[in-house]
């Protein structure tokens, strides 16, 4: 997978966050990238990263995805963009809706325009399970961004910039994760739980990085990549973190679901299943002579599977990939291993 970065110039928006740190470490360790640019608006986090990473291929660019001109300047000579910048706190988005839309929707549109203007080869945007059938503004804004990135392939033409999306669940060890919050709360002897039935998808930070690298290798434009990852009940998560702590049921908060979905039933007809991930084919496509095109044709042509000799299968029409009906569940022991590895 590291061959995709050979002699390439890479830029990560929101690159001073948890994902940016992990992805930068992954790319620099591979030794093949020509240049890696961290684009973010937090000068202090960039300062800390400069102290942490010592590599002459690394560059830092202060800027905000809300500023198209600044993005356009940053994207010059860039081959690959990973769009990780977003306002992610559900409650903060509900209280500051305009700010959420400016960053998550207008910012996504600016990334697309700058990438097209500068001739970037590939853009991979990070999405979330909350963008599926959203009930909060954060999810709705990310859904809008996803639609923008899929449709952008119609603007770039057959040989232009390619845009795709990675959609996954909660990241263990990332900033803002419930894991460090539960660890902090456990010191008081109790952990607040919104609902005992609640389940969530989980992925480690390292796994999210390697999956993104894999998708960059395979992407043809317009796909939504969904990794097959385990679920875990929130109460089991709390018990794994602090077995002796008391669980306090506080009720579901506004904009919160009992279960999350990564592939909704409505997208099943456009979904292919591979050994360890799904691809949701694009619904907005270039017109053909008969006025339509099979939405899965873009991801089945060439070597889009990324698995030599392995053919994907279409999922059943009534398929839904939910954290409640998942076939794989995260054990308490495995969760502790991930927490120990990631530092919480």
Catalytic residue positions? 130
Q: Give the residues across from 322 on adjacent strands.
A: 261
Q: Measured between alpha carbons, how far is residue 336 from residues 182, 273, 304, 333 in Å?
A: 13, 29, 35, 5
Using CA atoms of 281, 171, 138, 218 in order, give the dihedral in degrees to the nearest 10.
-20
Q: Quickly tell me which residue has 């963008």 as its tokens.
A: 131
Q: Quickly tell me which residue has 């997978």 as its tokens.
A: 1
Q: Is the four-CA dihedral 112, 116, 117, 120 of positive or negative sign?
A: positive
Q: Which residues contact 292 (CB under 8 A, 6 or more apart)?
A: 285
Q: Measured between alpha carbons, how far is residue 195 from residues 155, 199, 303 in Å?
A: 44, 9, 44
Helix-strand-coil percent breakdown of the chain, rounded to 5?
40, 20, 40
Cβ–Cβ under 8 Å, residues 60 and 11: no
- Rounded CA-CA distance 216/173 in Å is 23
Helix count and strand count (H, E) for the chain = 13, 17
DSSP 189: T
Output the six-digit token pair for 26.
């992954």
Apex 186 CA angle, 183 and 192, nearest 5:
100
| φ/ψ of residue 69, rounded to 5 | -65, -40
């Amino acid at each position: 997978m590291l061959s995709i970065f050979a002699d390439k110039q890479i830029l990560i928006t929101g690159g001073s966050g948890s994902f940016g740190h992990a992805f930068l470490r992954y790319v620099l360790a591979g030794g093949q990238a020509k240049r890696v640019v961290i684009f973010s608006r937090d000068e202090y986090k960039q300062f800390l990263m400069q102290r942490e990473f010592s590599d002459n291929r690394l560059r830092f660019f202060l800027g905000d995805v809300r500023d198209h001109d600044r993005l356009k300047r940053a994207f010059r000579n860039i081959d690959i963009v990973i769009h990780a910048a977003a306002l992610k706190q559900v409650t903060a988005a509900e209280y500051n809706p305009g700010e959420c839309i400016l960053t998550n929707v207008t910012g996504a549109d600016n990334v697309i325009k700058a990438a097209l203007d500068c001739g970037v080869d590939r853009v991979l945007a990070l999405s979330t399970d909350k963008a599926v059938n959203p009930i909060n503004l954060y999810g709705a804004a990310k859904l809008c961004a996803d639609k923008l990135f899929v449709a952008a392939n119609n603007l770039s033409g057959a040989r232009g910039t390619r845009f795709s999306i990675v959609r996954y669940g909660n990241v263990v060890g990332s900033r803002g994760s419930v894991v460090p919050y539960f660890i902090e709360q456990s010191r008081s002897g109790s952990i607040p739980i919104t609902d005992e039935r609640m389940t969530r998808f989980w992925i480690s930070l390292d796994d999210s990085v390697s999956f993104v690298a894999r998708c960059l290798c395979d992407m043809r434009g317009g796909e939504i990549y969904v990794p097959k990852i385990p679920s875990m009940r929130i109460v089991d998560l709390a018990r794994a973190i602090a077995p002796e702590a008391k669980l306090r049921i506080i009720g579901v908060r506004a904009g919160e679901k009992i279960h999350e979905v990564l592939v909704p039933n409505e997208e099943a007809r456009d979904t292919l299943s591979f050994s360890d991930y799904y691809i949701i084919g694009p619904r907005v496509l270039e017109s053909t002579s008969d006025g339509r095109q099979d939405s899965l044709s873009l991801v089945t042509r060439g070597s889009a599977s990324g698995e030599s000799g392995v053919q994907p299968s279409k999922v059943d029409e009534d398929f839904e990939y939910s954290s409640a009906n998942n076939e794989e569940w995260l054990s308490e022991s495995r969760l502790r291993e991930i927490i120990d590895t990631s530092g919480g």
